[in-house]
Structure 1
């Protein structure tokens, strides 16, 4: 039992450890989080198998992801640190996407209500109306096309930051970025189940919301907008995925950590990230309260990821001895007066 709790300690992060290796090496905090999350998903699927559609598939995916998280680090750590870092990126991508898919199954099984009315009322209370309606004065085919393209570049943008940190060999920053992103993913999917909400564009034609939301100008782009919107709607398995705004949360994290990379990536991520955040309102995918919640979570995970890794990793390089200290050490060595 004590060994199990030691396994969950936050300060055991594999990074060329010196001395005796911990018994659970090479599993760091990132791997531990996904092992716990997927164990809970699999256990929930097994307990409520009569209520969850395709529960056998859910349990099988849980076993597969757990196997990936357990086996891949054992392979990559025997190669080199670069392979280990690349493996962590793979684990993050696979686990995050699979969690989104499984969240949809839980929603279908357990959702008893939805909270679109509460979101609309919250927007009215905080902002005096519906901000996505206000953006109708800005609607332009060129702007719509651009924002729709940036909206679907969400995952490539996050991956770009991870790859930039990886190739720059900023392993410590990469680990913290992956940790923050994965915790953000888990919190998003948890709240989608806890607070199911559909997008404004999905409820705009529903008579029960007519007094609170109404769009008079359709969103039309140049070439790809309609195609992308329909494909995105067809590809996503979840309709109740608004609160909090994952696009806002992850874009802010990508911008923050993108500024720890090179100038080109910094510029790309900043422009694309800000565009994505604005597009969530302009394209009628989110309520303004979703953005507020997403931004709050982003700030929290930036802070939490620093705290959780501070015990073992420091983003600052280890200070080197001053020249005078080196000279003094050499003189002591040759004079025979060695320090105690």
Structure 2
């Protein structure tokens, strides 16, 4: 117990890797426990615990490595954990015999707001604006949606590059905010299961989206690689892009407006491509801000803000 307390407190030495590993172990042990009440046990819930403990036990050796390698190992470890837990949430849903969905409430809000599903509303509005070039807009939405996988990596890399050598450990707070975001996001998937318009609303299967072969390729790729059908509330895509964009503006990063551009594209994409309801995105905004705030409680590192404010592409 004393060793665990020491490892928890010495977060600067390993960029918070010890805290991240312990937090993951606690979170996944909790998921393993609730799997018993959902038809389990689900042994897959233990995999991230074992994986995290490997990094935790090796943290003394890892702390002696260069700052770049420590950052890379930290990023790799939480990436694998996040992917495993996403798959796990889908398994818990299947194990329970499919959790009760709340799509009726979410779709009713869209009907009240737009008098139609939000994807239909966006198609009409964008058609009036872009006319025969509407396919360009939808290609942009689909490409923006795919940047979801890049936001945390580029955000982390740019902040790490911006940090002075003696302050590289501050990157741990950004990494911690990403882990906090996904862990809480997955928990909310289980508490408020929502399938999404493309699967829940019959009308959506008939709503064709104008795209070039590029947009259609990525759209088909997303549709085919979807092991989790309760991953809507709040929107992880909108939320993580908002979270990282908050970080980029807080540290006054050179590329913050590029992040903002694709963040706005992401928000439109989640709605226009039939993936989410409006409430999914609206709730993702305060949720992302909360995760940013909570990251300081988790890894209490102050920001290193870039002093030269001149923006560059």
Q: Same fold (TM over 0.5)?
A: yes
Q: Where do 5+ consecutive residues of structure 1 fail to align?
A: 18-24, 206-212, 318-340
> Is 240-249 or 31-40 further displaced after alignment?
31-40
User: Cα deviations across residues 269-294 of structure 1 (Å, max 9, x unaligned)?
Assistant: 12111111111111111000001111
Task: Confirm whether residue 247 of structure 1 aligns to residue 237 of structure 2.
Answer: yes
The alpha-carbon deviation at position 226 of structure 1 amounts to: 2.3
Q: Which residue number in structure 1 is paired with residue 310 of structure 2?
A: none
Q: Which residue number in structure 2 is paired with residue 322 of structure 1?
A: none
Task: Confirm whether residue 143 of structure 1 aligns to residue 159 of structure 2.
Answer: no
Q: Where do 5+ consecutive residues of structure 2 fail to align?
A: 128-133, 306-313
Within-5 A mapping of 1:87-98: 87-98=73-84
Task: Confirm whether residue 40 of structure 1 aligns to residue 30 of structure 2.
Answer: yes
Aligned equivalent of 1:103, options 76, 79, 89: 89
Are the equivalent residues in 1 in contact too, given 2:21–2:52 (CA < 8 A)?
no
Q: Which residue number in structure 2 is paired with residue 303 of structure 1?
A: 293
CA distance in 2: counterparts of 1:59 and 1:270, whole angstroms = 35
CA distance in 2: counterparts of 1:162 and 1:6, whole angstroms = 27
User: Cα deviations across residues 233-261 of structure 1 (Å, max 9, x unaligned)?
Assistant: 22121122111111111011111112326
Whose Rg is larger? 1
Q: Which residue number in structure 2 is paired with residue 75 of structure 1?
A: 61
SS of residue in 1 equivalent to 2:213: coil
Structure with the bigger percentage of helix? 2
Q: Which residue number in structure 2 is paired with residue 153 of structure 1?
A: 147
User: Cα deviations across residues 273-331 of structure 1 (Å, max 9, x unaligned)?
Assistant: 11111111111110000011111101111222234444xx33259xxxxxxxxxxxxxx
CA distance in 2: counterparts of 1:127 and 1:303, whole angstroms = 33
Check 1:7–1:37 CA distance in 2 against 1; reply closer, same or farther (3 A cut): farther
Are the equivalent residues in 1 in contact too, given 2:237–2:266 (CA < 8 A)?
yes
Are the equivalent residues in 2 in contact too, given 1:100–1:189 (CA < 8 A)?
yes
Give the TM-score taking structure 1 as reference length. Answer: 0.76
RMSD value, Cα: 2.9
CA distance in 2: counterparts of 1:51 and 1:226, whole angstroms = 38
Task: Confirm whether residue 314 of structure 1 aligns to residue 295 of structure 2.
Answer: no
Task: Confirm whether residue 226 of structure 1 aligns to residue 216 of structure 2.
Answer: yes
Give the TM-score taking structure 2 as reference length. Answer: 0.82
Count of matched residue pairs: 293
CA distance in 2: counterparts of 1:73 and 1:4, whole angstroms = 12
